[in-house]
Chains A and B, each alone.
Chain A
Amino acid sequence: MTPIQTQEMRARRQPASALSRLIRNPVQLISAIILLGLFLVALRNVLPLNGAAEYQPDQFARQLIFGLAQGSIYALIALGYTLVYGILSMINFAHGEIFMAGAYMGFFAITAAQETGLLASDPVLALFITLLIGMLSSAVVAVLVERIAYRPLRNAPRLVPLITAIGASIALQQIFLRLFGASTRRYPDVGWFVLPNACPALGTQGLDDTGLCRGIDLIGGRYDVTVIGLELRILPIHFLVFALSLALMIALWLYVHRTKSGKAMRAVAEDRNTAALMGVNVDRVIVTTFILGGLLAGAGGVLYALYNQQVSPFIGFLPGIKAFTAAVLGGIGNIPGAMFGGLFLGVVETVAPSMLGLSSQLKDVIAFGLLVMVLIFRPQGIFGEVLSSKRG
């Protein structure tokens, strides 16, 4: 037996380690070096090595709260991408505009509520109606997009519905532009006061223009407080957005796992033809999927507009593409993956720039850099399984 043979055999016997695989792939290697560098920079900013750290815990806590709120909006949108991908193996690139439609229709609802005085007299009911109208509008738009742009192409090559998706996205943006104009519209100020006995603790921050304290303002309020030694500026809306999104995600999970039509949806996602053989109306399941995605995106749209306070036909683009990133990050087609991916992306893009000592304008670079990293190192996403050749 020659030495060369034994070497070969030894190599064959030992599976290549992750490190040796990394070194053999130049793209992965360079990316890994960049990642390591970023990590070291972050470490230097966080740890007080020479004097004080650049990055303070209060800043982190503040950004974490905002990141979770922002991330839960991404998660709500990302669920729409992932649900549709799970059933049809296609990316619904018009989903950002479906989100925008909800925010925009919500604007009309909340403005009408303001004009009729309902917003002032019963803000909870007005907000509920706004949310409902936003959700329903998005669902209607989602169903129309499916009916017009995707269903006629159900059996076409996979590239074709991708192109009509982009077309539907542009069309929706233009329709809203022609109908309602390019100007940015402002959501009215809303005061939803709770916990009136918190007033003494709020001090002067709880007072309104007339010097009266009505409690904590859940929508428009912002309060400087100190919690366990951290100086925080708390916006209750961030907690409200997070809680509502979480509730919707739990509702979705219950629907998918605890109802008969949720079971049918999972069956269609696995094997459309076999589900049809069991008596499942596949078209109806597909429409249901678009409705669910639309409802979640519409809720996300209204919540997003509530804390950003502005809507325009263009607001769907960036959150849409970010949420798509989140869905890929979590593993597209995977429901918990989309939830996690959304929250993760929201937190990372909020926290990372200041942790790295960069301008917060670079947050989009970080978000999409993250997408590139995931595609290089773990293309199936964090929660994703490697697709079998049959589906992939």
Chain B
Amino acid sequence: MSLLEVEHLHATYETIVALRDISFVVGQGEIVTLIGSNGAGKTTTLNTLCGLTPARSGSIRLAGERIEALPPHEIARRGVIQSPEGRKIFARLSVLENLEMGAFSRRDNRAVKRDLEDVLGRFPRLRERLHQPGGTLSGGEQQMLAIGRALMAKPRLLLLDEPSMGLAPIFVRDVFESLVALNKQGTTILLVEQNAHMALMIAHRAYVMQTGLITHSGDAKVLRKDPAIIRAYLGGA
């Protein structure tokens, strides 16, 4: 049994049919990536997993339990944590408060404190800015904060939406390296990326979406060499 099993999922987003019969799985300990062009339905997929966009039909199972009808906060409490597109830092809350919000549904205060130290060790820049409003951070720092905030929830499944968006290439590499490190320590990751090249470098498996459908799937190493994928998403080289 995989950690996440999505079967025949349909969803509409603002009266547009956004997902058509989507099925995929994410196994425990994997990095799986969803790639595809703008408007393919990648973000809608993540939002449907989190309960922000209602599923019209089909099923989503987390470790066997059906979650597609649960409200967003219940899904988050079950360990499906999304770091949303555009980072969505709480600009007026301090860096520390942002991180504490990540741990909102946890009750194990001592472990939360340990995890806070862990996150600050991972992203030392955040420690320097701990009491600064989140909105004053640079783009790269905000991305660190967004990932750190998601980690504070101790996710069973971490959903990342475009973590490289708007970042300088050097930060992009930092972010992807920290994702690999996280995964090595046991965090399962579902990564949505427009930067298909980087995503396929670190992922184990990949699904390719186009206009609400999954068109290709397979081993990331294999897809990276698929001529059709190269032509469409990897700049044709």
Are A and B bound to each other?
yes
Considering only residues 96-113 of chain B, those with a C-beta below 8 Å from chain A are: 97, 100-102, 104-105
Cα–Cα, bound, A369→B100 (Å): 44
B42-100 contacts to A, CB under 8 A, are 50-52, 71-73, 76-77, 81-82, 84, 88, 90-93, 97, 100
Known: A260-B104, A277-B82. A282 touches B93 (CB 8 A): no
A278:B92 contact, CB within 8 angstroms: no
Give complex CA distance A280, B75 in Å.
11
Say whether B93 contacts A266, CB under 8 Å.
yes
Chain B residues, Cβ within 8 Å of A270: 90-93
Interface pair B88/A271, CB less than 8 Å apart: yes
Q: Which residues of A sit under 8 angstroms from B90, Cβ to Cβ?
A: 266-267, 270-271, 274-275
Q: Does any Cβ of B come within 8 Å of A263's Cβ? A: yes
Output the nearest chain B residue to A275 by Cβ-Cβ distance.
Answer: B101
Tell me the chain A residues, 253-280 only, with Cβ under 8 Å from chain B: 260, 263-264, 266-267, 270-271, 273-280
What is the CA–CA distance of A267 and B93 in the complex, to the nearest angstrom?
7
Q: Are A276 and B52 in contact (CB under 8 A)?
A: yes
Residues from chain B with Cβ under 8 Å of A281 in the complex: 71, 73
**A278→B79 CA distance, assembly (Å):** 10
CA of A359 to CA of B198 in the docked complex: distance in angstroms? 74
Inter-chain contact B93/A277, CB cutoff 8 Å: no
B92 touches A263 (CB 8 A): no
B149 at interface by CB-CB < 8 Å: yes
Q: Please measure, in the bound complex, the distance between the C-alpha atom of A348 and the C-alpha atom of B131, giving whole angstroms.
A: 37
Given known contacts A277-B76, A279-B73, is B100 in contact with A263 (CB within 8 Å)?
yes
Please give, as numbers and ranges, the residues of chain B lying within 8 Å of A282 by CB-CB distance.
72-73
**A277-B82, A278-B149 known; A264+B101 contact, CB < 8 A:** yes
Quick check: A279 and B153 within 8 Å, CB to CB? yes
Q: Would you call B52 and A278 a contact (CB within 8 A)? A: no
**Which residues of chain A come closer than 8 Å to B104, judged between CB atoms?**
260, 264, 278-280
Main secondary structure of the interface of A (DSSP, over half): helix
Who on chain A is nearest to B51 by CB?
A276
- Alpha-carbon gap, A267 to B91, bound state (A): 9
Smallest CB–CB gap between A172 and chain B, Å? 30
Does B92 contact A266, Cβ atoms closer than 8 Å?
yes
By the criterion CB–CB under 8 Å, are B100 and A279 in contact?
no
Contact with B along A1-39 (1 / 0, CB 8 A): 000000000000000000000000000000000000000
> Are A263's CB and B73's CB within 8 A?
no
Query: A263 to chain B: which residues have CB within 8 Å?
Result: 93, 97, 100-101
Minimal beta-carbon separation of B73 from chain A (angstroms)? 5
Evaluate contact between A278 and B105: CB separation under 8 angstroms: yes
Nearest A residue (CB) for B86: A274
CB neighbours of A278 from chain B (8 A): 76, 81, 101-102, 104-105, 149, 153
In contact, B93 and A279 (Cβ under 8 angstroms): no
Closest partner residue, chain B, to A274 (CB atom): B88
Contacts of B88 in A (CB 8 A): 271, 273-274
Bound form: Cα–Cα A278–B80 in Å: 10
CB distance from B27 to the nearest CB of A (A): 23
Say how far B171's CB is from chain A's closest CB, in angstroms: 21
Complex CA distance for A263 and B72, rounded to whole angstroms: 18
Q: How far is the CA of A274 from the CA of B81 in the complex (A)?
A: 10
CB-nearest residue of chain A to B46: A277
B137 → chain A, closest Cβ, in Å?
15
Is B76 a contact of A276 with CB atoms below 8 Å? yes
Given contacts A266-B90, A266-B92, contact A274 B97 (CB under 8 A): no
Alpha-carbon separation in the docked complex, A281 to B70 (Å): 12
Please give the distance in Å from A335's CB to the nearest CB on chain B. 12
Q: Closest CB of chain B to A192's CB: distance in Å?
A: 42
CA distance A274 to B51 in the complex (A): 12
B residues less than 8 Å from A264 (CB atoms):
101, 104
Contacts known (A260-B104, A263-B97, A263-B101); A277 close to B72, Cβ less than 8 A: yes
Interface residues of A in 279-319 (CB under 8 A from B): 279-282
- Rounded to whole Å, the gap between the CB of A317 and the closest CB of chain B is 34
User: Contact: B101 with A276, CB < 8 Å?
Assistant: no
Question: When each residue 89-118 of chain A gets 1 if its CB lies under 8 Å from chain B and 0 otherwise, what string results?
Answer: 000000000000000000000000000000
Give the chain A neighbours of B51 by CB distance below 8 A: 276
Which A residues are in CB contact (< 8 Å) with B92? 266, 270
- Nearest chain A CB to B44's CB is how many angstroms away? 13
Contact partner, B105, options A267, A271, A273, A279, Cβ 8 Å: A279
Question: Which residues of A have CB within 8 Å of B76?
Answer: 276-279
Chain A residues near B102: list those with CB within 8 A.
Answer: 278
Q: Say whether A279 contacts B77, CB under 8 Å.
A: yes
**Chain B residues closer than 8 Å to A273, beta-carbon distance:** 52, 72, 84, 88
Contact B50 A277 (CB under 8 A): yes
9 sample A-B contacts, Cβ–Cβ < 8 Å, listed by A number: A260-B100, A264-B104, A266-B90, A266-B92, A270-B91, A274-B84, A281-B71, A281-B73, A282-B72
Binding site for B on A (CB under 8 A): 260, 263-264, 266-267, 270-271, 273-282
Given contacts A277-B52, A280-B104, 4 further A-B contacts (CB under 8 A): A278-B76, A278-B102, A278-B104, A282-B72
Nearest 10 Cβ contacts at the A-B interface = A279-B105, A279-B76, A276-B72, A274-B88, A281-B73, A279-B104, A278-B104, A270-B90, A279-B73, A278-B101
